[in-house]
Chain A
Amino acid sequence: MQPIEVSWIVLIFIFGAIGLVRGFLKELGVTTSICVAMYVISQWLEKREITDMALGKAAEVAPGTFRALATDDLRNGLFRCLLYVLIMVFMVFISYHGETLTFGGTPPKGSTGVFFNLMIGLLNGYLVVGTIWYYLDKYNYPTRLWGLFQEPLSPLAQFLRSLLLFNVIPASFQEPVLLLFIFFLVTMRVIR
């Protein structure tokens, strides 16, 4: 099993490679949908506790199936992390598949183009994989139930964890920062 920071770095570079192939303008559309997914997860499912409410209702309706998910911290965390991963994958998939959010035009050419393609790919990787790592960390790595996590985190992993977006932005600023950033991206899309 790889240390989590190795997986994180490798995945980010894979996103970077995807950015190189797809180009800056298409990847910018992906950035928009990733930010929307991050907003939904952090502000609705987490902050406004919609996941908790849904799990509570499900536990009332089918206690045999959902009671453990609602009460056991580790199983609850695992369920949340899987749900958030699915939401992220879904949003990334629809933005990769569709054309609606793609910015029009031709991406920059030459070394400038390579630089911007790579940077936007790395940014998308940082947002997607960073968000997943953040929630794995928040819920005490529930993947340990499947034997997919080993403590302790290395010093490098601890440092990288401090750079995750939701660890960098104070909790009270997360909503305005995400909303303003989505607004900025949509405005740039409309202006073009």
Chain B
Amino acid sequence: MTLTDIQLLLAIGVVFGLIGFLRGVAREIITTMGIIIAYGCLRWGEAFLVRWTNKFHKVFVFAAKGGLAADDPTALWPQVANLPPLIETDAEKLTFKLIVFVVLVIWAYALGSRVLSSRKDTVGLLAIYPGLSLLSRCLGLGTGLIEGWLITYFVLPEVFPKRETVIRLPTGPVAGFLGQNVALVIVGFVIVLIVYGLRSASLKK
């Protein structure tokens, strides 16, 4: 299977743009903030998260083997302490990072819907929020595209560090395109924030 970089970017844009259009700008801004926080957590907190996940894994194994209720917990602890870490190799770290990122992104989407909960109609997997203005939907579309960019910008270099994979996914050009447009994304997000902020402000003194 061969995908061109344009097809790949178009597919990402359509999916996230459509979600943004259906959910409206307010929910999408909350989700975008969540995605940025998820990115920051994994960018700077990876070592911390891996270290504490490994520690909690050992505590969990200790508890599961009955260490907490044992007459002499110190007898079991050396066995648990000598276990290999749950996350050790690069592949395991990558899987862990992606799982955490996906969980945080899903949480960000859920948070957006939860904070601004209202009646929604569902069509298959899609949730459509009725009653939103066209401006809100268009701003949501723009924010959705920014979210798609952010998610792809994080995931693509992690999952496909080489320029092509066996399914001939042109990740090199796509990653290059994403990297060249950081400024546009920042400016775009700021414009969405300003327009939505002005729309939310009252004209009365």
Contacts and interface: CB of A to CB of B under 8 A. Distances in A.
Interface string A22-34: 0011001000000
Nearest to A180: B187
Interface stretch (B91-99, B126-134, B163-171, B192-200): B192-200
A8 B197 CA distance: 26
Interface residues of A, number: 28
Interface string A48-67: 00000000000000000000
B61 interface: no
Contact of A28 (B191, B194, B200): B194
Q: Is the interface of B mostly helix, strand, loop or mixed?
A: helix
Interface of A: 24-25, 28, 103-108, 112-113, 116, 119-120, 123, 156, 159, 165, 168-170, 173, 177, 181, 184-185, 188, 192
B8 interface: no
Contacts, number: 60
Contact of B183 (A106, A168, A188): A168
Given A116-B193, A184-B191, A105 B203 contact: yes
B70 to A, nearest CB: 44
Q: Is the interface of A mostly helix, strand, loop or mixed?
A: helix
B202 A116 contact: no
B44 A116 contact: no
Contacts of A28: 194, 197-198
Nearest to A113: B200
